[in-house]
Amino acid sequence: MSDLQNLLQFDGETQALAQVSGRLGWDQETMMASGSAEQRGIEIAALEGVIHARRRNPQVGDWLSNIKPGTADEMIKAQIREIKRSFDRAAKVPGDLAQLIARTTSTAQGKWAAARADNDFPAFVPVLEEVLNLKQQEGQALAENADVYDTMLTDYEPGATAKKLSTMFGALRPGLVELRGRILEKDPAVKLRGPFDETTQMKISTLLAETYGYDLTRGRIDKAVHPFSSGSGQDVRITTRTDLHDPFNCFYSTIHEVGHGSYEQNIDQKYTLTAIGQGASMGVHESQSRIYENQLGRSRAFTTWLFNQMKQQFGDFGISNADDFYKTVNSVSKGFIRTEADEVQYNLHVLLRFDLERALVSGDLKVKDLESAWNDRFYDDFGYNVQSASDGCLQDVHWSVGLFGYFPTYSLGNVYAGCLHERLRKKLPQLDNDLREGNLTPATDWLRENLQRHGALKLPSQTISDACGFEPSEAPLLKYLQTKFSEIYDL
């Protein structure tokens, strides 16, 4: 075989092993017995050692060097680009460090869960210090003369820098703080009247997944404490959660994860188990989950359909008409939890984390001081005090598993979703009529054709700008939020 053929075959096997590793993580969150965590950490570390060794195998570097530039088509060029990026990264990180990170973060996840359950941040401090130290070592190995935090961002959003994101988020934050302040002066929306049977919630959850085009012959829906999606190609799994008194938690968690899952399912099948056979970045990924959940799922038109589905399944649940239901779905109220936040306040949660984790990585903020720094920033943006660590700096799993640089992609995804929604409305003038009937096909087909099918063929910024027809900015998102919530709350 040629060097190119050898390279692509070798990488395909590495991609397959990475999928197996992801399946172990999925099992840990959904099915694994609680007493199995230590052994699972060893298993994941061992597999990560194999995968890391393959990614930094000198033979990969030789194959890359021997391939003549300009001889491949767009698909092959993109694969070579991504393989080289992965090789260059892996070659800089010592194998024993990669394994230690995998093992430490696997067990740290359980320690975080225990600290969160006990509302005990001091108990988690040594764990987070260890994870942060390892990730700083990795970042320093990768950065060479570059910014350490920027190297962390690159793992999730190639091409992004803290400087660019700070400018974008700096333009976003004042408008969000001002809008939430005006809204919270108004009367709250109508409340749901439960309880809501959890089996029925899962029934509607499955209906929503299918309505959005999620293929259950190549996926499944399970429950997890923190909903997530996993896998690509022919095996893409999602999770959701139920709450007896808040079915929206289940429904919109499902729609959100369906956005992620459908993206992976809709990537061109010829890219499966290749370096471009997954989403272009976490920001682009989040754009799909957020436009599915918010601009489509929380629209006045679609909530009319959902209102009728809930009436059929639950009978009288305290809301008498579709207009009140729409306002309830989009209600803005005080709260502490990012994953439960409304559209107006969600990004304020993310921007808080973005600034704090940059300070942690740089050493400007010590882990032991994280809780007080979090609480101070939360009060500045939200106007009230955090009551407990589980509602504050212990609420998210991300830092315990080493995902520094991940949080900003949530807000970047919202910015991208705002841009895509503006374009989608122009291309589909009958969109509301379709959504009112529960017909998501025109919208999801447009997203599949213009964005999802390409996977990582193009760089993230190019993926978005090609789909939107313009360079992304925060302006469409702010305009959408101000227009929508000014109408709902009569501002």
Q: What is the pLDDT of residues 117-151, one digit of tens each?
A: 999 999 999 999 999 999 999 999 999 878 999 99
Joined tokens for residue 235: 């095996």
11 confidence band (pLDDT: 50, 70, 90) = very high
Burial call 357-377: b when 16+ CB within 10 Å, e when fewer: bbbbbeeebebeebbebbbeb
pLDDT of residue 71: 65
Query: Which position has the higher pLDDT, 15 or 185?
Result: 15
Joined tokens for residue 191: 């409340």
Whole-angstrom distance, CA of residue 339 vs CA of residue 336? 9
106 confidence band (pLDDT: 50, 70, 90) = confident
Joined tokens for residue 35: 């007493």
DSSP state of 69: T
**Which of these ranges, 65-69, 184-188, 383-387, has the smallest mean pLDDT?**
184-188
Give me the phi and psi of 238, to 5 degrees please: -130, 160
Whole-angstrom distance, CA of residue 468 vs CA of residue 215? 26
Whole-angstrom distance, CA of residue 252 vs CA of residue 331? 14
Helix, coil or strand: residue 245: coil
The model's pLDDT over 43-99, given as tens digits with 9 standing for 90+, comes to: 998 998 899 899 999 999 999 999 987 767 999 999 999 999 999 998 899 989 988
Mean pLDDT of 237-249: 95
- Cβ contact 217:378 at 8 Å: no
- Cβ contact 451:223 at 8 Å: no
Looking at the chain, the number of H-run helices and the number of E-run strands are: 20, 3
Query: Which position has the higher pLDDT, 261 or 95?
Result: 261
pLDDT at 309 over 70: yes
Of the candidates 50, 55, 59, the one whose C-alpha atom is nearest the C-alpha of residue 21 is 50
pLDDT at 198 over 70: yes
pLDDT at 109 over 70: yes
The model's pLDDT over 394-405, given as tens digits with 9 standing for 90+, comes to: 999 999 999 999
pLDDT of residue 185: 83
Helix, coil or strand: residue 173: helix
The model's pLDDT over 318-351, given as tens digits with 9 standing for 90+, comes to: 999 999 999 999 999 999 999 889 999 999 999 9
Burial environment of residue 185 by CB neighbours within 10 A (0 to 12, 13 to 18, 19 or more):
exposed
Q: Is 474 a catalytic residue?
A: no
Query: Which position has the higher pLDDT, 454 or 71?
Result: 454
pTM of the model: 0.93
Across-strand partners of 238? 221, 229
The pLDDT > 90 percentage for the chain reads 88
Whole-angstrom distance, CA of residue 436 vs CA of residue 189? 22
CA distances from 265 to 189, 204, 220, 303, 374 (A): 37, 21, 12, 25, 37
Residues in contact with 332: Cβ distance below 8 Å, sequence separation at least 6, in sequence order: 180, 183, 184, 342, 344, 345, 485, 489
Question: Beta-carbon neighbour count of residue 379 at 10 Å?
Answer: 12
pLDDT at 161 over 80: yes
pLDDT of residue 199: 97
160 confidence band (pLDDT: 50, 70, 90) = very high
Question: What does the CA dihedral 126, 128, 134, 135 come to, rounded to 10 degrees?
Answer: -160
> Domain segments of the chain: what residues?
3-145, 162-488
Topology of the domain comprising 162-488: Neurolysin; domain 3 (1.10.1370)
Q: Which of 257, 264, 340, 343 is catalytic?
A: 257
- Look over the chain and give the mean of its residue pLDDT values, rounded to a whole number: 95
